[in-house]
Amino acid sequence: MLSLSLLAAAAILLVAYLLKEAHYRRFKQYAVLPQLKPSFVWGHMKAIHETGLRGRPGQHFDDTMFDIWEELGRPPVFFTDFRPILYPLLVVANHEVAEQISSASSLFPWSVTKSPTNWLHIELNGHNGMPLLEGTKWKSSRKRFNPGFSHQHLTTLLPLIMEKSWLFMRNLDTYARTGEEFQLGALLTNLTFDIIGAATLEVDFGAQLDKASQSEFIQAYKRLVASFIDQDNPLTDYKQKLFVRWRLERKVNRLLTEMIRGKLSESKQLGPDKKSRSIVALASKDLDTVTPEMLTVIVDSVKSFLFAGHDTTSILLQWAFYELTRNPGAMKAVRSELDDIFGPDPDPTIVRDKLLSGEDDAMARMVYTSAVIKEVLRLHPPAGSARYSKAGTGLKLRMPNGQGVIDADGMVLYICHSIIQRDPAVYGETANDFLPERWLGNTDTSMQTNNLAAGEKTGTTGVPASAWRPFERGPRNCIGQELTNIEARVILACAVRRYDFTKVGLGELDLDASGQPKLNAKGEYEVKSELYRTRVVTARPIDNTVMTVKLNPKASFNL
């Protein structure tokens, strides 16, 4: 009996200790940080879920975080507790704090390490893809692939980008003839798949063709990406999804490995004057032999390029066409600029010939077009950046305006671009408005501009460089941002004068009694309901941007 009593007493003491420890972790450990009221059982999960329900159906996580940030009084950071399901999360909502995380330091020579939550998308990025590598392995991989993503090399890809853009416009012509509704996002995703496939491997994925004509690889890859839809829904059969994802990943890896192995072998057999100029060929030109380990690194890196390379540009262009349809002043300005550069005829053949000739440095003259791109990326960034400093590392983050220093170890540090780039403290009363003019004076979206010091001002409104970060900043900024910039300018130059788009469903224009769109005080067309973002790994328009399209009266079906 005594031993049972001792066991019972020990059990009671253990439970009491565990409850005390749980109470400390839930209510006291991070009590100094701004946060919603936590629940002992749910942490902040229940409160975040309820905030999301008050928002729009299926809205992106970042939009829910934005609502919480406003509810808390717009603090520079705030804490969200997902334990024990996920790591505790510090949402970074201030550009000065974000800069401390993304910059090189004595603790982190290549910026704060990536978050372990990035492994949730391991099937898309691969175990050895650049997004998941750290330290000298990351540095070596970045150095190897940098030449293929340099501006000088990417300008040699203009003929390729033009060729793929022609297929995109022919598909648009088909919808212009029929007048039927279509998903602009699907067309742009297929276009950018074709471009990144040709740029990385000199392979034609046939993504813009009918499904039966598409390559086996691109069909498998699309299914792999689609398997991440509703991944946060607890009602989803998660085990079944994991099996489907595992099976598709194996198929994608096998097909991609075969393609890369074939391209590397082909490159070795070509003479010096016929060498491939693909990104993979440039990255492997110094390799006498490609070891199995190096082949794995190349395969995983290409996987990450394929995902980021098609996704970012597709999202950017969807929002660009949408914002221009509801902002007549911006549409008029961008079309006027393109008329000045390429002449009044919107025939994309003229655009192509002038860009390929290098005449008058037409690309550099697309100043307002670049301002549109920069403003779209500010308002609609595809993703944030998650970092992590292990407990005991000693990472301290200084809050702005002398608000103190916090210990940032042991939490996922989520640099939330969607909040930072709409901060009224930086962007003023127009923080949520589409206003490309704010960037005139510095419309450059290149890596060089992205490396400006945090306090340097950009544009006529004096925005700090660190407050615009859709490609992230610091040593681990996006390697493919130059390609995105070139693609976006080329596609807009070819299509924005040739077509008149009309949004259908979410974001549809509100018309007056005479059938004309209503103009508000900001110079925007009123809409019946706002188009917003959802999560499919990254932040995409929830309806894939359903449109109808007509040929502009100045254009003709001549492609």
pLDDT digits (tens, 9 = 90+) for 379-427: 999 999 999 999 999 999 999 988 899 999 999 999 999 999 999 999 9
Place of tokens 């390490």: 113
Per-residue burial over 247-283, b if 16 or more Cβ lie within 10 Å, else e, is ebbebbbebbeebbeebbeebeeeeeeeebebbbbbb
Place of tokens 């794995």: 296
CB 275 within 8 A of CB 301: no
Mean pLDDT value of segment 215-235: 78
In what helix (H) or strand (E) does residue 458 lie, and over which residues does it extend? strand 457-458
pLDDT digits (tens, 9 = 90+) for 429-473: 999 999 999 999 888 777 666 666 666 666 566 899 999 999 999
* The pLDDT of residue 235: 47
Measured from the Cβ of residue 318, the count of other Cβ atoms closer than 10 Å reads 25
**pLDDT classification of 234: cutoffs 50, 70, 90:** very low
Mean pLDDT value of segment 162-183: 97
0.95 exceeded by pTM? no
What pairs with residue 397 in β-bridges?
406
Output 21 or 66, whichever has higher pLDDT.
Answer: 66
- For the purposes of burial, counting CB atoms within 10 Å of the CB of 126, is it exposed (0-12), middle (13-18) or buried (19 or more)? buried
CATH architecture of 140-555: Orthogonal Bundle (1.10)
Q: Which of 203-217, 234-248, 254-268 has the highest mean pLDDT?
A: 203-217
* The pLDDT of residue 459: 57
- State yes or no: pLDDT of 276 exceeds 80: no
- State yes or no: pLDDT of 104 exceeds 70: yes
**Torsion of Cα atoms, 180 then 185 then 191 then 194, to 10°:** -130
| Backbone φ/ψ region at 193: left (φ over 0), alpha (ψ -120 to 50), beta | alpha
For residues 499 and 172, what is the distance between their CA atoms, to the nearest angstrom?
8
- State yes or no: pLDDT of 117 exceeds 80: yes
pLDDT digits (tens, 9 = 90+) for 463-504: 999 999 999 999 999 999 999 999 999 999 999 999 999 999
- State yes or no: pLDDT of 275 exceeds 80: no
Integer angstrom CA distances of residue 205 from 141, 194, 220, 311: 25, 6, 11, 16
**pLDDT classification of 19: cutoffs 50, 70, 90:** confident
* The pLDDT of residue 37: 95
Tell whether omega for the bond before 84 is within 30 degrees of 0, i.e. cis: yes
- State yes or no: pLDDT of 76 exceeds 60: yes
pLDDT digits (tens, 9 = 90+) for 243-273: 888 899 999 999 999 998 888 888 777 666 6
